Amino acid sequence: MTLEVDVRIPRADIEAAFEVADDDTAAILGPNGAGKSSILGAITGTVAATGQVLLHGQNLLGLPPHRRRVGLLGQRALLFPHLSVLDNVAFGPRSAGHSRRRARAIAGEWLERLEASHWADRRPDQLSGGQQQRVAMARALAAEPDVMLLDEPFAAIDAEAIDGLRTLVRRHVNTTCIIVTHDLPDALTLADRVIVLDEGRIVEEGRTTEVLTRPRSRFAARIAGVNLVTGTLADMTLTCAGTTVTGRPVEDGPGSHGVAVFPPRAVAVYPTRPHGSPRNTWPVEVCTVRSDGPGVFVTANHPDLGEVTAEVTSSAAAELDLQVGTHLWFAVKAQEVDLLPRARQHRAQRRPRPSAI
């Protein structure tokens, strides 16, 4: 269901209008205090807002929070400490009017889907933070929301647990979704579109890859400004038109659409083909040279990969004779390249909505 948001929150001086297409995921990026969570609060009903939030023609702002069918997964799992894991997940179905038995059956299926069945009888305080978050995700999904809001869902999770959780979100959150995040991989793997918020206003909006490769806003430039190559993922490689990029897989998902991410400073520049060298070496032709502080950014074109940017020191730049049209070789070590599955991929593999269990 398409979600149309057009809200003003006078107390926080926020004015934002955007749309999330049916079953798409939008990432809201922005510095702390930009108003990201307040906008989510306006949608769930915890923050007073004027304007409208339209979901299949109905203005959610006129409904009490429990009738909005908007699910929320925040930084903290907020499991109910007095209920078992199973009964936490059964809370939504139970509130929807299912019998206790039926609600527990639904909860059991969701726990199974999220590979959390073995914790069903535990108390929340017997689980780690990552495990609790996984249960919280099962609980939110079991309520079958029409819209899912993720408010920095991995911010308080141990690094090693994040990849697994992100994979679960990509597989199981199939509804219209908004994710607030600080994290580049979150936006890349989960979001179709990116909305950049600063001081309560939307300063940039567009397709994820476009915003992150060519950021126009200061904030997007700070977290992004990376090289992105989209293509087909295999085990340790990504293939884009005839050229293969080797990297380290960040998450599972071979055989699907993916993106290779590497920062400009990971790109080494050579006047001739380097020998005995990194896995990724590409002949390129310089299109722009721009100096920014101590670094010089060389953007060059590759017939298959498109534009790739390298950051070199100014002394190195002087030796290289950087002119538009100069032919150079770019090289990137495989361990500097993150291979991520792309958000689009889960659209293709979408499972039927589980409402018919």
Partner 1 sequence: MTRQPTAPSATPAWIWLPAGFGALLLVVPLVATVVDVPWADLPELLTSDASRQALSLSLRTALGSTALCIALGTPMGWVLARTHLPAQRLIRTVVLLPMVLPPVVSGMALLAAFGRNSLLGGALEGFGIRIGFTTVAVVLAQMFVSLPFMVLGVEGALRTQGVDHERTAATLGAGPGRVLTRVTLPLIAPALRSASVLCFARALGEFGATITFAGSFPGITRTLPLEVYLVRESDMDAAIALSLLLLVVAGVIVAATHAQPRRPV
Using CB under 8 A, which of the segments 61-69, 238-246, 279-287, 304-312 binds partner 1? Answer: 61-69
Rg of the chain taking only CA atoms, in angstroms = 23
**Nearest to partner 1 of 68, 170 (CB atom):** 68
Distance of alpha carbon 105 from alpha carbon 90, whole angstroms? 8
For residue 246, the minimal CB distance to partner 1 (Å) is: 43
Q: Which positions from 103 through 162 interact with partner 1, judged by CB under 8 A? A: 139-140, 143, 145
Question: Which amino acid would we find at residue 307?
Answer: E
Tell whether residue 70 is a contact of partner 1 (CB under 8 A).
Answer: yes
Instruction: Determine which residue in the list 8, 76, 201, 265 makes contact with partner 1, applying CB under 8 A.
Output: 76
**Nearest to partner 1 of 148, 240 (CB atom):** 148
Sheet containing strand 338-341, strands side by side: 243-246, 237-240, 227-233, 257-262, 338-341, 248-249
Size of the site for partner 1 (CB under 8 A): 26
**Nearest to partner 1 of 92, 249 (CB atom):** 92
Sheet containing strand 295-302, strands side by side: 267-270, 327-332, 280-292, 295-302, 306-313
Instruction: Determine which residue in the list 1, 6, 54, 91 makes contact with partner 1, applying CB under 8 A.
Output: 91
**Does residue 275 contact residue 269 with C-beta atoms inside 8 Å?**
no
**Nearest to partner 1 of 53, 233 (CB atom):** 53
Tell whether residue 50 is a contact of partner 1 (CB under 8 A).
Answer: no
Q: How many CB atoms lie within 10 A of CB 170?
A: 20
Instruction: Determine which residue in the list 10, 33, 62, 65 makes contact with partner 1, applying CB under 8 A.
Output: 65
Sheet containing strand 176-180, strands side by side: 70-73, 147-151, 176-180, 25-29, 193-198, 201-207
Instruction: Determine which residue in the list 50, 59, 95, 126 makes contact with partner 1, applying CB under 8 A.
Output: 95
Tell whether residue 166 is a contact of partner 1 (CB under 8 A).
Answer: no
**Nearest to partner 1 of 96, 334 (CB atom):** 96
Tell whether residue 82 is a contact of partner 1 (CB under 8 A).
Answer: yes
For residue 123, the minimal CB distance to partner 1 (Å) is: 13
Q: Which residues of 238-256 are buried (b: 16+ CB within 10 A; e: fewer)?
A: bbbeeebbbbebbbebeeb
Tell whether residue 178 is a contact of partner 1 (CB under 8 A).
Answer: no
**Nearest to partner 1 of 1, 203 (CB atom):** 1
Task: Provide the CA 217 distance to its chain's centre, in angstroms.
Answer: 18
**Nearest to partner 1 of 66, 275 (CB atom):** 66
Q: Tell which residue, 339, 221, 209, has the closest CA to residue 280.
A: 339
- Measured at the CA of 298, the angle between CA 293 and CA 303, to 5 degrees, comes to 160
Task: Provide the CA 47 distance to its chain's centre, in angstroms.
Answer: 24
DSSP 234-260: -SSEEEETTEEEE-EESS--TTSEEEE
For residue 195, the minimal CB distance to partner 1 (Å) is: 21
Q: Tell which residue, 300, 270, 273, has the closest CA to residue 285.
A: 300
Instruction: Determine which residue in the list 80, 255, 313, 351 makes contact with partner 1, applying CB under 8 A.
Output: 80
For residue 251, the minimal CB distance to partner 1 (Å) is: 27
Instruction: Determine which residue in the list 11, 32, 57, 66 makes contact with partner 1, applying CB under 8 A.
Output: 66
Tell whether residue 81 is a contact of partner 1 (CB under 8 A).
Answer: yes
For residue 94, the minimal CB distance to partner 1 (Å) is: 8
For residue 245, the minimal CB distance to partner 1 (Å) is: 41
**Nearest to partner 1 of 20, 143 (CB atom):** 143
Distance of alpha carbon 212 from alpha carbon 223, whole angstroms? 8
For residue 181, the minimal CB distance to partner 1 (Å) is: 19
| Interacting residue ranges for partner 1, rule: CB under 8 A | 44-46, 64-72, 74, 76, 78, 80-82, 91-92, 95-96, 139-140, 143, 145
